[in-house]
Structure 1
Amino acid sequence: MTLISLVISIAIITYLCVSGFFDTKVLPGSEVFFISSGHNADSPTGSKAVESVDVLLVGAGAMSTTLGMLLQQLDPSLRICMVEKLDRVAKESTDALNNAGTGHAGNCELNYTPQNDDGSIDTKKAFKINADFEVSLQFWSHLVEKGLLGEPSTFINQVPHLSFVFGKDDVDFLRKRYELLKDSVAFGDMEFSDDHKKLKEWVPLIMKDRPASDVVAATRVRYGTDVNFGDLARGMARHLEQQDHFDLRLSRVVTNLRRNKDCSWLVDVYDTRQGKREFINAKFVFLGAGGGALPLLQKSGIPEGRGYGGFPVGGQWLICDNPKIVDQHLAKVYGNAEIGAPPMSVPHLDTRTIDGKRKLLFGPFAGFSTKYLKNGSYLDLFTSFRPDNLVPMIAAGMDNVPLTIYLIKEVLKDRKGRCQALHRFYKEAKPEDWELAIAGQRVQIIKKGEKKLGKLQFGTEVVSASDGSLSALLGASPGASTAVAVMLRVIEDCFPEEVKSEAWQKKLKEMIPSYGEDLNQNDELFRKIRKHNNEVLNIDNLP
């Protein structure tokens, strides 16, 4: 029996114990919340008034703050409320150490260009992610130019993106990948080299004392980026808080939601600081609570959410802040993933700027926890089981033995084992220069497959109610890097009439000049937009 299957068996037992007794209550002083399904929710009683808003954003991370900024720019009169479980904006998955901080653009992430069984390389995902990231850059550039965000260096910095591989087979793959990408506008500035002298210029720390006999190669894009998504989200939240029709509420847990007859939503919120309930009636609800979005989607009862499950994967970093080492490396260097490894566990050695200080991070090392959030409950996985997702969850577990083996190996890895993995990139690494830190939790999507009873899906997915009254974001990487493109799709799905209006169309084109265009089909526009974004955000100054 696989690890996932074992967890599923335990989960079924737990679910049978608690699923029929989900009262709408919060256990004071505990992180565990037992919540009734949306269609069985009780109406609020007592003297507490029901507040009405146009938009309720659940979660205060990169996705919710992006959607809030977009909607506020499109219609400043919208009454928007954002509720966050923790006591600070962007403290969970969006916080700097809880994610890779890579501006994912397909430049260096080899898992975005998988090799098919026949040896061919599929580049579709890399091109899509590259164009989507350029959409994010357009919106951030707009906010900077309008003075709505601070200096770009507070949240984005130029850090070249490199793919670095070892051995003849992987070098041949990388060269072939480069040949497929280099003639496009998206990847036209990519460089390839298997020459040790050139590689020493690009990544001196990695090439230091490396034998000349080592068969290695790399590709490099000079204007790669390191993005502090936590600071970006907090910057957007600060602007939103200054607006008349925006309300940010921290230390709030959504404990129940029910669809009203007019298709609005009655949302029960618990204030963990004051120990009281609040009731919010919202015309539109966005569930952008990271791993917490799946349980809330299930509780909404919308048919579109049936069959979805989630498998949590944790992570750990090795961190170095020794200036003598940090100053020798200025790059995000991605390697090839081990067989069975989830995308978030592709090994990489990165330059990061966190709280104004440069550091090196290596990892992430995958781990397993039944929590859906870093600050979640160990019952998260167990209480997510439903009759409609049991078959997909079990089928996905049985179909992912390599992932199970990989996770077991990672969980059993000690400090020495982690340093051995680092030595492949940095031969002179000393354990005393590196500290272990816990990264964020990611919940990989499990759902019914077209040809399989269940499949484990990597990436992000939006699930929306057919009437456009609720939308939920599930999954992980590339996540925040493509937040603007993803949130534009949410707006198109859930505000279709408004999007068609002349006012919204004009504003969308002002914020995102390529809106309505496929950048990969318009070379001239792509070049113009990239040049503008790089100049405004100051991310193309290195040779």
Structure 2
Amino acid sequence: MTETVDVVLIGGGIMSATLGTLLREVQPDWKIVAYERLSDVAQESSNPWNNAGTGHAALCELNYMPQTDGPLDPAKAIGINEQFQQSRQFWSNLIARGVLDEPSTFINSTPHMTFVRGEKDVAYLKARYEVLKKEPLFAGIEYSEDSRVINQWAPLLMQKRRKGEPFAATRVPSGTDVDFGALTHQLFDHLASTGARVYTDHEVRSLKRQQDGTWLIKYRQTIGRTPGEIKARFVFVGAGGWALKLLQNSGIPEIKGYGVFPIGGQFLKTSNPAVVAQHKAKVYSQASVGAPPMSVPHLDARVVEGESSLLFGPFATFSPKFLKNGSLLDIVSQVRPHNLGPMLRVALANPDLITYLLGELVKTHAKKVDGLRTFMPTAKDEDWTLIQAGQRAQVMKKDPKKGGILQFGTEVIASEDGSIAGLLGASPGASTAVPIMLGLLKRCFPEQYAGWEPALRELIPTMGETLNDDPDAAEKSMSATASALSLTA
């Protein structure tokens, strides 16, 4: 007889780990099973070398507050920051409970900076600063056009820079660098220690709704190809780009009209101690014309497994795979009659993106280091090596006005009865995993959610509140989590 469990998590990334941890806290008696097709968890987008490790709080990312003809609107930037504060609270309380290890094993203080060149971008950055400095969640943001000040913040930006060139920078000391791979491992280790079963080398092949409302999940072990099956009352598909394929396989009508566009990435990396010692920040700039927001260039200080290094990029690559370890047929196998039209509309409406990708694909190593020199004029080719980052599957969906749009960010797709849900999309997903999964709990478990709220509020004290509307509450929350996470601010 096929076993029935309460929850099946598909995919061993930060989203499944976060959802499983939340459910274990509010419903400790539930049986939870997780399946990951690779030999370990956190090997795709959650792996520290497959992402930039930015604790996304809109402190330095200009795409969350784009330049327009009208007044600058900070609403989205504030919203992203509010979400990251919830993640900070969650992690802080898990440390207090002994769920997570020492904070430095997964999070470190790293100032977040924005650096721009040219009169137009300098004027925009100053205007952005003037708006954000009034917002409580952005307290402490600094602005300068003085090379001496910027040199103190990030020396590599200023060395041998051409005189007379307009430039400006902002800096927020309270930024963070996050090793989402280490965080994911620790969360899954905790789940396993509390009775959850975490299976690696198990690939889910199909999802089928049963008459009793449960889901029959059929899987295959990747070593030996032994098949198996299990039933679940609730299924979460946190399988990155493959979430689309599995949700399509489930047959839920809510997935109709959706497709994904895979974009890969590469980073230049250096571990040269003499270079690394001079840069202790994450520095973002403006995206190139036609580039997706996830391709905004940035020079990042990273700490992974205790090793300090610098990354610069990303440089876009193209692969038809939805995952780094996916199938070359992924991009074709997603096509359905209901999503073909929207995907074609997206292709026709984004010629700049196609041009940008083609330009990125023909760049040599030397050309990529030339791109780095716009940030770091003294960069030497021999100090930097290319590493392949993860695949990002950007959402394509129906749009009543345009027919189809390419959407950046993440989106939860759930069945009407809430028995199955999945996550599509990319950045700033990992940083905002906690609020995303809180929203999923409220949507998929409406009858239980009210009873869960007290336990959830113990983990995320400001859940349901807006910190930015209360300067005292914002300062108190940020100070408390900074202390708990051993951050400098």
Fold match (TM-score > 0.5): yes
C-alpha distance in 2 between matches for 1:67 and 1:243: 15
What is the count of residue pairs matched by the alignment? 489
Match of 2:257 in 1: 307
Contact 1:114 1:123 survives alignment (8 Å): no
- Corresponding residue number in structure 2 for 1:13: none
When the two structures are superposed, what TM-score results if normalisation uses the length of structure 1? 0.89
Show the counterpart of 2:95.
144
SS of equivalent to 1:173? helix
Q: Say whether residues 1:513 and 2:464 are aligned partners.
A: no
Is the CA contact (8 Å cut-off) linking 1:98 and 1:438 kept in structure 2?
Answer: yes
Match of 2:184 in 1: 233
CA–CA separation in structure 2 for the residues paired with 1:498 and 1:321 = 49
Match of residue 540 from structure 1: 488
In the other structure, the counterpart of 1:522 is 470
CA contact (8 A) 1:98 1:439 kept: yes
Check conservation: 1:196, 1:212, Cα contact below 8 A. Answer: no
* Aligned match of 2:66: 114
Alpha carbons 1:104, 1:133 under 8 Å: kept: yes
* Structure 2 residue 359 is matched with structure 1 residue 409: yes
- CA drift of 1:188 comes to 1.7
Aligned-partner SS, 2:22:
helix
- CA distance in structure 2 between the aligned counterparts of 1:124 and 1:463, rounded to whole angstroms: 24
2:2 corresponding residue in structure 1: 50
CA deviation string 1:249-275 (max 9, x = no partner):
001111111011222100101111232
How many angstroms apart in 2 are the aligned matches of 1:51 and 1:374?
Answer: 32
**Cross-structure match for 1:219:** 170
Residue-by-residue CA offset, 1:187-237 (whole Å, 9 max, x unaligned) = 121111111111010011111122331211011000100000000000111
- In structure 2, which of residues 436, 441, 445 is the aligned counterpart of residue 486 of structure 1? 436
Matched, 1:175 2:126: yes
- Aligned 1:350-389 pairs, distance under 5 A: 350-389=300-339
Q: Match for residue 50 of structure 2? A: 98
Asked whether 1:59 is paired with 2:11, we answer yes
Answering whether residue 86 of structure 2 is matched by residue 135 of structure 1, we say yes
Say which SS state the counterpart of residue 102 (structure 1) adopts.
coil
In the other structure, the counterpart of 2:219 is: 269
Give deviations 1:98-124, integer Å, cap 9, x for gaps. Answer: 0110000000001111122x2432322
The range that moved more, 450-459 or 226-235, is 450-459
Q: For residue 403 of structure 1, report the CA deviation from its aligned partner.
A: 0.3
Q: CA deviation at 1:354?
A: 1.4
- 2:356 is the counterpart of 1:393: no
Q: Secondary structure at the match of 2:347?
A: helix
How far did 1:161 drift? 0.1
Other structure's SS at 1:359 match: strand
Correspondent of 1:438 among 376, 385, 388: 388
What is the CA–CA distance in structure 2 between the aligned matches of 1:384 and 1:120, rounded to whole Å?
Answer: 40
Q: 2:376 aligns with which of 426, 451, 456?
A: 426
Alpha-carbon offset, residue 519 of structure 1: 2.1
Query: 1:149 and 1:107 mapped to 2: Cα distance?
Result: 26
CA contact (8 A) 1:59 1:288 kept: yes
2:446 equivalent to 1:496: yes
d(CA) in 1 for partners of 2:28, 2:473: 29
Give the Cα–Cα distance (whole angstroms) in 2 for the partners of residues 231 and 292 of structure 1.
22
Q: Secondary structure at the match of 1:171?
A: helix
The answer on 1:161 being equivalent to 2:112 is yes
Assess if the C-alpha contact under 8 Å between 1:374 and 1:440 holds in 2.
Answer: yes
User: In 1, distance between residues paired with 2:382 and 2:411?
Assistant: 40
Q: Secondary structure at the match of 2:230?
A: strand
Asked if the contact 2:441/2:449 (under 8 Å) is kept, the reply is: yes
Whole-angstrom distance in 2 between the partners of 1:339 and 1:263: 48
- Contact 1:316–1:436, Cα closer than 8 Å, also in 2: yes
Contact 2:290–2:352 under 8 Å retained in 1: yes
| DSSP-derived class of the 1:275 partner | coil
Secondary structure, aligned partner of 1:385:
coil
Q: How far apart in 2 are the matches of 1:73 and 1:186? A: 28
SS of equivalent residue, structure 1 residue 50: coil
Secondary structure at 1:186 match in 2: helix
- Describe the SS at the equivalent of 1:86: coil
Post-superposition Cα deviations, 1:284-313, rounded to whole Å, max 9, x if no partner, equal: 000000111011111111111111000000
Alignment check: 8 A CA contact 2:6 2:31 kept:
yes
Contact 2:240–2:423 (Cα < 8 Å) also in 1: yes
Distance 1:521 1:499 in 2: 25
- Secondary structure of 1:448 counterpart: strand
What's 1:28 paired with? none
Is the 2:203–2:220 Cα contact (8 Å) retained in structure 1?
A: yes
Is residue 2:302 matched to residue 1:325? no
Measured in 2, the distance between the counterparts of 1:144 and 1:328 equals 31
Counterpart secondary structure, 1:447: strand
> What's the Cα RMSD here?
0.9
Aligned match of 2:41? 89
**Structure 2 gap segments, 5+ residues each:** none
Q: In the alignment, is the contact (CA less than 8 A) between 1:50 and 1:278 conserved in 2?
A: no
The answer to which of 518-527 and 263-272 deviates more is 518-527
Are the aligned partners of 1:61 and 1:92 in contact in 2 as well (CA < 8 Å)?
Answer: yes
What are the Cα deviations for residues 23-52 of structure 1, in whole angstroms up to 9, with x where unaligned?
xxxxxxxxxxxxxxxxxxxxxxxxxx4121
Letter in 2 for 1:321: S
Query: Secondary structure of the equivalent of 2:301?
Result: strand
Instruction: Using structure 2 for the length normalisation, give the TM-score.
Output: 0.99
> Partner letter of residue 131 of structure 2?
L
Give the CA deviation at 1:497.
1.1
Match for 1:115: what amino acid? Q
Equivalent residue letter for 1:344: M
CA distance in 1, matches of 2:407, 2:396: 6
What is the alpha-carbon distance in structure 2 between the residues aligned to residue 508 and residue 450 of structure 1? Answer: 37
Asked if structure 1 preserves the Cα contact closer than 8 Å seen for 2:136 and 2:470, the reply is: no
Task: Give the match's secondary structure for 1:285.
Answer: strand
